[in-house]
Amino acid sequence: MEENTEKCPLCTDKRKNSSLYDTWLQCDACSTWYHAECLGLSLEECNIIERYHCLGCTAASGPTTYKKKPRKTSRSHARLNYADLNEGKTGDEKIWGKILRAKSFANDPFKRYKGDEVTVELARKTGMTEPFVIEDVEFLDMKMPDSSITVNDIAKAVGEDQPVEVIDVGTQSEQPGWTVGRWAAYYHSPTRDRIRNVISLEISNTEFARGITRPKFVRDMDWIDHMWPSELKPKEYPKVQLYCLMGTKDSYTDFHIDFGGTSVFYHIISGSKVFYFIEPTSKNLKKYQKWSSSPDQSSTFLGDQVKQCYAVHLKAGNTMIIPTGWIHAVYTPEDAIVIGGNFLHGINITTQLKIYEIEDATNVPQKFRFPFYKRINWYAAHNYNKTLQDTPEKLSPFELQGIASLAQFLQEDLNKLQKTSSATNEQRKAVRADIPALISDGVELISSLMKGLQNAFRILTQSTITGTGNGTSGGAGTETKDSKVLKVKLKVNPANPSPSVLESYHSKKSDHKTKKATKATKANKQHQKIVLKVKPKKDKVQEEVDESIEESDEEYVDNELEFFGDLKEEEEDDADEEEVLESGDEEYVENYKDSPKTNARKRKQTANPSTPRKPRKNPIPKKSKIEVEESSSDDELGTQKSNRSGRATDSFMSGPGGGYGIQSKKTQTSTVKQRLLERIDRVKR
């Protein structure tokens, strides 16, 4: 084990070889750090200290106090002074390492894959909801620099005069005026004056990039490669696909979410890294938003504010995929060189858009945001519209749910062009600028997306019934034995701008197109609804029980997912409900198995106590059922009545505040399309 060479005020020249030099105590009065060994304290004594006062502070602050109940470990409840992290208070720039060593983190729960296992099909099956590591990168179909490459080599390949943003780790602030050549000189200097870090050197279109090929998995998913028009490259496109990161020992990047909700590939050329991950549940995202907007951000460790923070250790040769929205911090225990890149994709569109909203709410400067964000989302909508018309069966449930969110996101922008909108002229101008020239009619595009989604969900249900879909959790052609009812509702009623709105952003539109848009607007005034119901196979004993019991619509409420409202409604979820969803949801989804006893109890709860059930002469056939309904609001407010058993459905509100959202009723779940349910449940949280 490497000996700890950091000294405290009580250290002498003759130091013993003791593990207690790795244990530090901080005086709660003067904030000075001391070795436990230098204080003459054992590990057991350290564990029971409540407040420690050094000899110099004892007279004024009183003696050290002890807890009656010992602490679990010397690290889990260490007294830490985060005030030193504030800009201008950087007496100890290595404090990040001390803080992290003093804490306990949840064990790494994330999966490891071989290179040939990481494919687009894997993402469509799993929803790519958690980070994962590829330890064997042989079949990732990528090309990376040799591990012997140096920062001097990189500087020559990129250009020594190339400007680079350098972060001072002690203050977590940017230092201007650096070039790659100056950075290389600092990096290779035997005596570095400060701990510094480079995390945003974009290297696309450089000589260095010519020897690098991103993993095929990333290239197959990246919207820049598949949605952005090739004729606009290389002059105009989001340059976020390839970065070189160079960190010195003890570098630290505080908690953040990658811009625009992008996913990240991260390959370590040399050295090592430690990631600290926080899951992007609704509750955690709210805490992140509050923390990132707080003036105390630099003096507060976000990992203390959440239930679990996972530590993941990576070494040279490892590749990690960080999915959309995951909050993470990064520590560098030794000098490290990394190649990485950001990419938007269709598997996690809803969360991508949610992160964009957080960036808006926290006023993140445009410099630190995804370039051409709204424009690439319009390009994505244009391409998905073609796919929905030509080959909708290729889209996974995750992509279909995301396309609905995308349509709502773009519709909200179009609403700003309405005469009744409160948007400023600058906002209207920005909306028009974001709509690509190849999209002549944004309203018609969104209307076409809605129709395509309806058709795609019909196909999805049919494939579930026949076991031929690509979205089942068990793979194509798989029917799960213990599957329960899956009910999915897609309600469509986008707020359509008037013809004058269309003219406002395409003044040269022909009368023919204006009339066509007007016709589409009238046609979409009615609420359109698709209800997909899939009834599972049941064993013979259960079928006999069912045939003697009258079934009602309540029996289909095992798991109902409704697309309605808008993305902002998720921020208003009840805190108690979030606690329930976060506590055991994964185990609930994975392990719950239906039983005759459970069904009987459920029917007893839903039965009308004043009306005893009678045997049915002609029981409902035990097969999957598809019900397609089109109805309009009875009171023009979006409230609708069920056509079955008088049960009211959730309302859908049109206009600027309306659109698509997600509501998940937490009851039994279905293993058919199970990954869809897990993904939507995660977004809900």
pLDDT band at 271 (very low <50, low <70, confident <90, very high): very high
Q: Report residue 464's pLDDT band, with 50, 70 and 90 as the boundaries.
A: low
For residue 491, is pLDDT > 90? no
pLDDT of residue 4: 52
Percent of the chain with pLDDT over 70: 62
**Residues 6 or more apart whose Cβ sits within 8 Å of residue 592:** 668, 669
Average the pLDDT over 12-40 and give the result.
Answer: 76
- Furthest-apart CA atoms within the chain: distance in Å: 95
Query: How far, in Å, CA of 516 to CA of 530, rounded?
Result: 25
pLDDT at 9: 84
Res 527 pLDDT > 60: no
Of 30-39, 43-52, 354-363, 555-564, highest mean pLDDT: 354-363
Q: For residues 88-124, b (16+ Cβ closer than 10 Å) or e, as one string? A: eebebbebbbbbbebbebeebeeeebebebbebeebb
Task: Give the chain's domains with CATH numbers.
Answer: 19-101 (3.30.40.10), 118-154+194-371 (2.60.120.650), 387-684 (no CATH)
Q: Output 38 or 539, whichever has higher pLDDT.
A: 38
612 compared with 383, residue with greater pLDDT: 383
pLDDT above 50 for 100: yes
End-to-end CA distance of the chain: 42
Q: What per-residue confidence (pLDDT) applies to 302?
A: 95
Tell me: the pLDDT tens digits for 166-200? 999 888 888 889 999 999 999 999 989 899 999 99
Peptide bond before 234: cis, by omega within 30 degrees of 0?
yes
Whether 529 and 644 have beta carbons less than 8 Å apart is answered as no
What is the β-pairing status of strands 560-563 and 486-492?
A: parallel
pLDDT at 539 over 60: no
Confidence band, pLDDT 50/70/90 cuts, at residue 288: very high
Check if the beta carbon of residue 399 is closer than 8 Å to that of residue 344.
no
Q: What per-residue confidence (pLDDT) applies to 522?
A: 44
Confidence of residue 108 (pLDDT cuts 50, 70, 90): very high
Report DSSP letters for 205-272, one per residue: TSTGGGG-B--HHHHHH-HHHHTS-GGGTTTSS---S-EEEEE-TTEEEEEE--GGG-EEEEEEEEEE
pLDDT tens digits, one per residue of 75-95: 333 333 444 443 334 446 778
SS3 626: strand
The H-or-E segment that residue 612 falls in is: none
At 551, give phi and psi (nearest 5°): -95, 145
Residue 366 has pLDDT above 60, yes or no: yes
Whole-number pLDDT of residue 43:
76
In angstroms, rounded to a whole number, what is the distance separating the alpha carbons of residues 298 and 408? 35
Residue 303 has a pLDDT of 95
More confident residue, 354 or 68: 354
Q: Across residues 547-570, what is the average pLDDT?
A: 38
pLDDT tens for each residue of 576-592: 444 443 444 444 334 44
Tokens 């026949």, residue?
Answer: 466
